[in-house]
Amino acid sequence: MTEPLLDVSDLDVRYGEAQALFNVSLDVAPGAVVAVLGPNGAGKSSLAGAICGRVRPAGGRIRLAGRDVTGWPAHRMSGQGLAYVPEERAIFPHLSVLENLRVRLRYAVARGERTAALERAFETFPILADRRRQQAGTLSGGEQQMLSLARVLAAPPRLLVADEMSLGLAPRLVDLVFDALTRARGEGVAVLLVEQYVERALEFADQAVILRRGRVVWHGAARDAASELVAGYLGESP
Protein backbone atom coordinates (compact mmCIF):
# COMPACT_ATOMS: atom_id res chain seq x y z
CA MET A 1 0.00 0.00 0.00
CA THR A 2 1.11 3.59 -0.67
CA GLU A 3 2.45 5.36 2.41
CA PRO A 4 0.26 8.31 3.44
CA LEU A 5 1.57 11.73 2.55
CA LEU A 6 0.18 13.02 5.86
CA ASP A 7 -0.20 10.78 8.90
CA VAL A 8 -1.68 12.27 12.09
CA SER A 9 -1.75 9.96 15.11
CA ASP A 10 -3.39 10.53 18.52
CA LEU A 11 -3.08 14.31 18.26
CA ASP A 12 -3.87 16.45 21.32
CA VAL A 13 -4.06 20.25 21.33
CA ARG A 14 -4.41 22.37 24.44
CA TYR A 15 -4.76 26.10 25.07
CA GLY A 16 -3.75 26.47 28.68
CA GLU A 17 -6.13 24.32 30.73
CA ALA A 18 -8.61 23.93 27.86
CA GLN A 19 -8.17 20.96 25.56
CA ALA A 20 -9.28 21.41 21.95
CA LEU A 21 -8.33 18.03 20.42
CA PHE A 22 -8.33 14.56 21.94
CA ASN A 23 -6.42 11.68 20.29
CA VAL A 24 -7.29 12.75 16.74
CA SER A 25 -5.95 10.48 14.00
CA LEU A 26 -6.29 10.75 10.22
CA ASP A 27 -4.22 10.32 7.09
CA VAL A 28 -4.14 11.80 3.60
CA ALA A 29 -2.85 9.75 0.68
CA PRO A 30 -0.77 11.38 -2.07
CA GLY A 31 -3.09 13.26 -4.42
CA ALA A 32 -6.18 12.56 -2.28
CA VAL A 33 -8.73 14.92 -0.71
CA VAL A 34 -9.89 14.53 2.89
CA ALA A 35 -12.72 16.74 4.18
CA VAL A 36 -12.74 17.68 7.87
CA LEU A 37 -16.25 18.53 9.01
CA GLY A 38 -17.92 19.42 12.27
CA PRO A 39 -19.93 22.12 14.04
CA ASN A 40 -18.41 25.33 15.36
CA GLY A 41 -16.04 24.59 18.21
CA ALA A 42 -15.39 21.03 17.07
CA GLY A 43 -11.64 21.63 16.78
CA LYS A 44 -11.30 21.83 12.99
CA SER A 45 -9.13 24.94 12.91
CA SER A 46 -7.04 23.66 15.83
CA LEU A 47 -6.35 20.55 13.79
CA ALA A 48 -5.38 22.57 10.73
CA GLY A 49 -3.20 24.86 12.83
CA ALA A 50 -1.37 21.97 14.46
CA ILE A 51 -0.69 20.28 11.13
CA CYS A 52 0.62 23.53 9.61
CA GLY A 53 2.85 24.47 12.52
CA ARG A 54 0.78 27.37 13.82
CA VAL A 55 -0.23 25.49 16.96
CA ARG A 56 2.13 23.25 18.93
CA PRO A 57 0.59 19.85 19.72
CA ALA A 58 0.35 18.78 23.34
CA GLY A 59 0.61 15.12 22.36
CA GLY A 60 0.57 12.72 19.45
CA ARG A 61 2.54 12.65 16.22
CA ILE A 62 2.44 14.28 12.78
CA ARG A 63 4.34 12.70 9.88
CA LEU A 64 4.68 14.29 6.44
CA ALA A 65 6.05 12.15 3.60
CA GLY A 66 7.38 9.70 6.17
CA ARG A 67 9.19 12.34 8.26
CA ASP A 68 8.23 13.13 11.84
CA VAL A 69 7.40 16.86 11.77
CA THR A 70 5.58 17.07 15.09
CA GLY A 71 5.94 20.55 16.56
CA TRP A 72 7.76 22.00 13.56
CA PRO A 73 7.07 25.73 13.05
CA ALA A 74 5.11 26.94 10.04
CA HIS A 75 8.10 28.03 7.96
CA ARG A 76 9.71 24.58 8.23
CA MET A 77 6.44 22.90 7.26
CA SER A 78 6.22 25.16 4.22
CA GLY A 79 9.70 24.04 3.24
CA GLN A 80 8.47 20.44 3.19
CA GLY A 81 5.83 21.19 0.55
CA LEU A 82 2.89 21.97 2.82
CA ALA A 83 0.84 25.09 2.05
CA TYR A 84 -1.82 26.61 4.29
CA VAL A 85 -4.69 28.83 3.15
CA PRO A 86 -6.47 30.19 6.23
CA GLU A 87 -9.91 31.67 6.60
CA GLU A 88 -8.46 35.12 7.33
CA ARG A 89 -6.93 35.57 3.86
CA ALA A 90 -3.14 35.36 3.94
CA ILE A 91 -2.15 38.39 1.88
CA PHE A 92 -0.13 41.57 2.29
CA PRO A 93 -2.80 44.30 2.04
CA HIS A 94 -0.41 47.17 1.24
CA LEU A 95 1.24 45.36 -1.67
CA SER A 96 -0.25 45.02 -5.14
CA VAL A 97 -1.71 41.76 -6.39
CA LEU A 98 1.39 41.18 -8.50
CA GLU A 99 3.73 41.94 -5.59
CA ASN A 100 1.83 39.51 -3.36
CA LEU A 101 2.36 36.75 -5.88
CA ARG A 102 6.03 37.59 -6.38
CA VAL A 103 6.74 37.57 -2.64
CA ARG A 104 5.47 34.00 -2.39
CA LEU A 105 7.17 32.80 -5.55
CA ARG A 106 10.53 34.25 -4.51
CA TYR A 107 10.75 31.54 -1.85
CA ALA A 108 8.78 28.76 -3.52
CA VAL A 109 9.96 28.68 -7.13
CA ALA A 110 13.31 28.78 -8.92
CA ARG A 111 13.97 32.07 -10.71
CA GLY A 112 13.58 30.59 -14.18
CA GLU A 113 10.15 29.18 -13.36
CA ARG A 114 8.56 32.27 -11.84
CA THR A 115 7.09 33.72 -15.03
CA ALA A 116 5.28 30.46 -15.77
CA ALA A 117 4.06 30.34 -12.17
CA LEU A 118 2.63 33.87 -12.45
CA GLU A 119 0.87 32.90 -15.66
CA ARG A 120 -0.61 29.89 -13.87
CA ALA A 121 -1.99 32.12 -11.10
CA PHE A 122 -3.59 34.55 -13.54
CA GLU A 123 -4.97 31.73 -15.68
CA THR A 124 -6.58 30.17 -12.60
CA PHE A 125 -8.14 33.48 -11.49
CA PRO A 126 -8.37 35.80 -14.53
CA ILE A 127 -9.87 38.62 -12.46
CA LEU A 128 -6.54 38.88 -10.64
CA ALA A 129 -4.81 39.54 -13.96
CA ASP A 130 -7.08 42.56 -14.42
CA ARG A 131 -6.27 43.70 -10.86
CA ARG A 132 -2.54 42.97 -10.92
CA ARG A 133 -1.53 46.57 -10.17
CA GLN A 134 -4.25 47.11 -7.56
CA GLN A 135 -3.41 47.24 -3.86
CA ALA A 136 -4.50 43.90 -2.38
CA GLY A 137 -6.23 45.50 0.59
CA THR A 138 -8.67 47.27 -1.72
CA LEU A 139 -9.89 44.04 -3.32
CA SER A 140 -13.26 42.61 -2.36
CA GLY A 141 -13.29 39.85 0.23
CA GLY A 142 -13.80 37.24 -2.47
CA GLU A 143 -10.96 38.61 -4.58
CA GLN A 144 -8.67 38.62 -1.56
CA GLN A 145 -9.45 34.95 -0.97
CA MET A 146 -8.71 34.23 -4.63
CA LEU A 147 -5.35 35.95 -4.21
CA SER A 148 -4.63 33.97 -1.05
CA LEU A 149 -5.27 30.73 -2.92
CA ALA A 150 -3.50 31.87 -6.09
CA ARG A 151 -0.33 32.61 -4.09
CA VAL A 152 -0.24 28.93 -3.12
CA LEU A 153 -1.40 27.28 -6.33
CA ALA A 154 0.94 29.26 -8.57
CA ALA A 155 3.59 26.83 -7.30
CA PRO A 156 1.55 23.74 -6.41
CA PRO A 157 2.52 22.20 -3.05
CA ARG A 158 2.46 18.51 -2.18
CA LEU A 159 -0.22 19.12 0.45
CA LEU A 160 -2.67 22.01 0.69
CA VAL A 161 -4.46 22.61 3.99
CA ALA A 162 -7.48 24.79 3.25
CA ASP A 163 -9.22 26.16 6.34
CA GLU A 164 -12.73 27.51 5.66
CA MET A 165 -11.65 29.27 2.46
CA SER A 166 -15.20 29.78 1.23
CA LEU A 167 -16.52 31.29 4.47
CA GLY A 168 -18.57 34.37 3.67
CA LEU A 169 -18.13 34.13 -0.09
CA ALA A 170 -20.94 34.46 -2.61
CA PRO A 171 -21.93 31.18 -4.33
CA ARG A 172 -20.26 32.23 -7.61
CA LEU A 173 -16.97 32.76 -5.82
CA VAL A 174 -17.31 29.47 -3.97
CA ASP A 175 -17.55 27.84 -7.40
CA LEU A 176 -14.30 29.53 -8.45
CA VAL A 177 -12.55 28.32 -5.31
CA PHE A 178 -13.63 24.72 -5.90
CA ASP A 179 -12.70 24.95 -9.57
CA ALA A 180 -9.18 25.98 -8.54
CA LEU A 181 -8.98 23.15 -6.03
CA THR A 182 -10.13 20.69 -8.67
CA ARG A 183 -7.38 21.86 -10.98
CA ALA A 184 -4.80 21.52 -8.22
CA ARG A 185 -6.01 18.04 -7.44
CA GLY A 186 -5.65 17.13 -11.10
CA GLU A 187 -2.01 18.18 -10.85
CA GLY A 188 -1.41 15.79 -7.98
CA VAL A 189 -1.87 18.12 -5.01
CA ALA A 190 -3.30 16.43 -1.91
CA VAL A 191 -5.87 18.50 0.00
CA LEU A 192 -7.00 18.56 3.61
CA LEU A 193 -10.22 20.56 3.37
CA VAL A 194 -11.88 22.21 6.36
CA GLU A 195 -15.12 23.44 4.88
CA GLN A 196 -18.52 24.86 5.87
CA TYR A 197 -20.26 23.82 2.63
CA VAL A 198 -20.79 20.21 3.63
CA GLU A 199 -22.36 18.94 0.41
CA ARG A 200 -19.68 20.56 -1.76
CA ALA A 201 -16.94 19.19 0.46
CA LEU A 202 -18.31 15.66 0.29
CA GLU A 203 -18.74 15.81 -3.48
CA PHE A 204 -15.11 16.90 -3.80
CA ALA A 205 -13.47 14.66 -1.20
CA ASP A 206 -12.38 11.03 -1.24
CA GLN A 207 -12.52 10.61 2.53
CA ALA A 208 -14.27 12.50 5.33
CA VAL A 209 -13.56 12.99 9.02
CA ILE A 210 -16.21 14.37 11.36
CA LEU A 211 -15.08 16.08 14.56
CA ARG A 212 -17.24 16.78 17.57
CA ARG A 213 -15.94 18.45 20.73
CA GLY A 214 -12.38 17.75 19.69
CA ARG A 215 -12.82 14.05 18.96
CA VAL A 216 -13.23 12.05 15.76
CA VAL A 217 -16.79 10.70 15.78
CA TRP A 218 -16.78 9.31 12.24
CA HIS A 219 -14.37 8.72 9.40
CA GLY A 220 -14.64 6.88 6.12
CA ALA A 221 -15.38 7.33 2.44
CA ALA A 222 -16.98 10.70 1.67
CA ARG A 223 -19.72 9.01 -0.35
CA ASP A 224 -20.78 7.10 2.79
CA ALA A 225 -20.91 10.13 5.08
CA ALA A 226 -24.46 11.36 4.41
CA SER A 227 -26.32 9.34 7.04
CA GLU A 228 -23.60 9.97 9.63
CA LEU A 229 -23.81 13.70 8.98
CA VAL A 230 -27.45 13.77 10.04
CA ALA A 231 -26.76 12.13 13.40
CA GLY A 232 -23.16 13.11 14.10
CA TYR A 233 -22.69 16.44 12.39
CA LEU A 234 -26.06 18.15 12.17
CA GLY A 235 -27.12 16.67 15.50
CA GLU A 236 -30.45 15.43 14.20
CA SER A 237 -31.98 12.02 14.27
CA PRO A 238 -31.68 9.97 11.08
Q: Given this model, what pLDDT does residue 69 score?
A: 97
Second-level CATH architecture of 1-81+158-238: 3-Layer(aba) Sandwich (3.40)
Q: 83 by DSSP, 3-state: which?
A: strand
Please state, in angstroms and rounded to a whole number, the distance separating the CA atoms of residues 111 and 118.
12
Torsion of CA 186, 188, 194, 195, to 10 degrees: 0
Kindly list the domain boundaries of the chain, sorted by start residue.
1-81+158-238, 91-156
- Amino acid code (one letter) for 28: V
Q: Given this model, what pLDDT does residue 238 score?
A: 38
What's the count of helices (H) and strands (E) in the chain, helices before strands? Answer: 9, 10
> Cα 41 vs. chain centroid, distance in angstroms?
18
Query: At residue 68, what are phi and psi to the nearest 5 degrees?
Result: -75, 115
Q: Given this model, what pLDDT does residue 236 score?
A: 45
Q: Tell me the pLDDT tens digit for each residue of 111-131.
A: 888 888 899 889 888 999 999
Please state, in angstroms and rounded to a whole number, the distance separating the CA atoms of residues 139 and 80.
31
Those residues of the chain that have pLDDT short of 50 are 236-238
